[in-house]
Amino acid sequence: MSQDRSSDSTQDSRLVVPVQPATHGHAMAFDRVYRAHYRDVYRYLLGLTLSSQDAEDVAAETFTRAYQAWQAAPDPALPWLLLTARRIATDRWRRARRLAKIVLRVTPQRADDAGERQTEFWLWFGAVARVLTDRQREVLLLRYQHDLTDADLALIMGISESGVRSLVARALEVLRSHPELL
């Protein structure tokens, strides 16, 4: 994941942060990771935010940041991408909740996206979200990504490896007490 750097400082819109331009090798390496992991990042965000719009937004921001910081991206990249995605999603949610709470005196709900709520999967996943805590749901989502180790999960969630294991165990215990969800 090494790449050259030069001094281009093009800034063509407010959406684009000026960065060092990518070399061809850089772009190729990034493309590979982007294609390999976009769905992983999107899936994680979808399960986290329960909103395809938010998942799409945050995934876009995650990969834009990843591209800008590519020289610092570790290998394997997936845990780092998921950690970045988690931070962006958390920041957005906290910001929206704080503003809405202060000014409108309302606690915003996670967005319910068109159509999604009606499918069998989303009805099931909504029921899962009601019985598991956010962190329990998150750890199972991450566990679902079989390439991730306990250490990766710990890094992403900001807890210890033993914390990951106990969180998983507790989540499974809760699920067992709701056999209709299995």
Partner 1 sequence: MDDDLDTLDRFEHRLAGIEANVKDPPPFDHERRTMPGPTRKSRSLVATVAVVAIVVAVVAVGSLIGGARPTGPTSSSSVVGGSGTATPVATPSPAATTVRTVMIDEWSARCVDVQKVDCIGAAGIFLNQLGRSYTGMFESSGGVLTVEARPVCPLVPDWADGSYCWQVSVTGNVDPDTGKPICIVIARRTTDTRYPPYGQVGGSNLSGAANSGGGIGQSCS
* HEC profile of the chain: CCCCCCCCCCCCCCCCCCCCCCCHHHHHHHHHHHHHHHHHHHHHHHHHHCCHHHHHHHHHHHHHHHHHCHHHCCCCCHHHHHHHHHHHHHHHHHHHHHHHHHHHCCCCCCCCCCCHHHCHHHHHHHHHHHHCCHHHHHHHHHHHCCCCCHHHHHHHHCCCHHHHHHHHHHHHHHHHCCHHHC
Interacting span for partner 1 (CB under 8 A) from 36-44, 83-91, 147-155, 156-164:
36-44
Any contact of residue 52 with partner 1 (CB under 8 A)?
yes
Least CB distance to partner 1 at residue 1 (A):
16
Q: Which of residues 101-160 bind partner 1 (CB under 8 A)?
A: 102-108, 110-116, 119-122, 124-125, 140-141, 143-144
Any contact of residue 35 with partner 1 (CB under 8 A)?
yes
The site for partner 1 (CB under 8 A) is made up of 12-13, 15-17, 19, 22, 27, 30-31, 34-35, 38-39, 42-43, 46-47, 51-54, 56-57, 60-61, 63-64, 67-68, 92-93, 95-96, 99-100, 102-108, 110-116, 119-122, 124-125, 140-141, 143-144, 168-169, 172, 175-176, 181-182
